[in-house]
Amino acid sequence: MEEQQRYFSRELLRWYLDNRRDLPWRRQHNAYYTWVSEIMLQQTRVSTVIPYFERFIAKFPTPTALAEAPEEEVLKAWEGLGYYSRARNLQAGAREVKEKYSGVVPDDKTAVASLKGVGPYTTGAIMSIAFNRSEPAVDGNVMRVLSRYFRLHDDIAKPATRVHIEHIARDLIPDGHASDFNQAIMELGALVCTPKSPACLLCPVMEHCAGRLAGEETLLPIKTKAKPPKPELRYAALIEGTGVNEGKLLMRQRPESGLLARMWEMPHILVPKQMSVAGLPDDEAQDMLRGALHQEGLAVLPIERFMDAEHTFSHIHWQMRVFRCSIAEDAAVPEGYAFIGPDDREQYAFPNLFVRLLDAYFSEREA
């Protein structure tokens, strides 16, 4: 076992130093850069994150700059990455760093772990990558690589398995090389030991990989399936302005807390569960939408279906049927609503689904 461990650490580190990708957050040992990149990389591909990271750091180059920024600016910079609670928690953590540590991410595991939104993995990543501390950073890539290499049959969805793999990972870290080693094992999982089609012949540690030797590389790791997201059918109103608001759409801001808090969206309603399989015919759906919005103090007239769209959150799948609607020029607009045109979009943060809908609408007008 010890030889298997030494071989893994030695060959993996050698491979990484020759093959690592040039990523913007790797170009210097900056704890803030590591923190931002690791939060962005949760549930998001590296290729998607790179331009977001570069723009975000240009706009908020330090924890203090992020801490002092209006939340709306932070959400706008995050727009398109999804999982917006990540951005809010990152800013909350930056405020803690400003208040408690003079704007410098501390070289202290307990302090880092106490920051808002920083869990065990992110703590390990910051401490090891930025400060070269011998702390494990176990994400999905690492669990997959080590489950295969050591032929572990424990369910990686269970917390006890993660703890076990953290112990294994800690023992593998070569003295003085925590930063490169932890990035190396993540890199191997991302580029070679991939979920569905591991490139075993290109793997630097294939010779002693117990999972490969047993022919189980595609069966491991063991992971119980999460519950599928709950489907929800929603009817949305694309409300076109007239007169001084010609070319703009009436949008509303979401509540102060909860899903997508304070972001902007097209007004929409949840269709009762018993109707949500196929929904209603369009004329009945329009009547439902008009009645529901009237109760909100919004007098609109649905005209025709504009398009259908969908978006999956971690626990909910929205199926959105969007109707083009008209509103009288002198109609009252409730508090929390605003007419937004293409030139106004930089001032407002929208969830991904509504970014796509706005793009579709304004592109149609320009055509």
Active site amino acids? 38
**Cα distance between the two ends of the chain:** 65
Q: Mapped to the 3 state alphabet, what secondary structure does 293-362 carry?
A: HHHCCCCEEEEEEEEEEEEECCCEEEEEEEEEEEECCCCCCCCCEEEECHHHHHHCCCCHHHHHHHHHHH
In angstroms, the CA 8 to CA 226 distance is 31
Region of 247 (left: φ > 0; alpha: ψ -120 to 50; beta: rest) is left
Name the residue type at position 78. W
Residues with Cβ within 8 Å of 147's Cβ and at least 6 positions away in sequence, in order, are 154, 156, 165, 211, 220, 221, 222
AA letter at 351:
P
Query: CA Rg, the chain, in Å?
Result: 25
Give the Cβ contact number of residue 232 at 10 Å: 15
Q: How many CB atoms lie within 10 A of CB 171?
A: 13
Q: Give the DSSP H or E segment for 99.
A: helix 85-101
Q: How far apart are CA 116 and CA 102, in angstroms?
A: 17
β-pair type (230-240, 316-327): parallel
CB 57 within 8 A of CB 33: yes
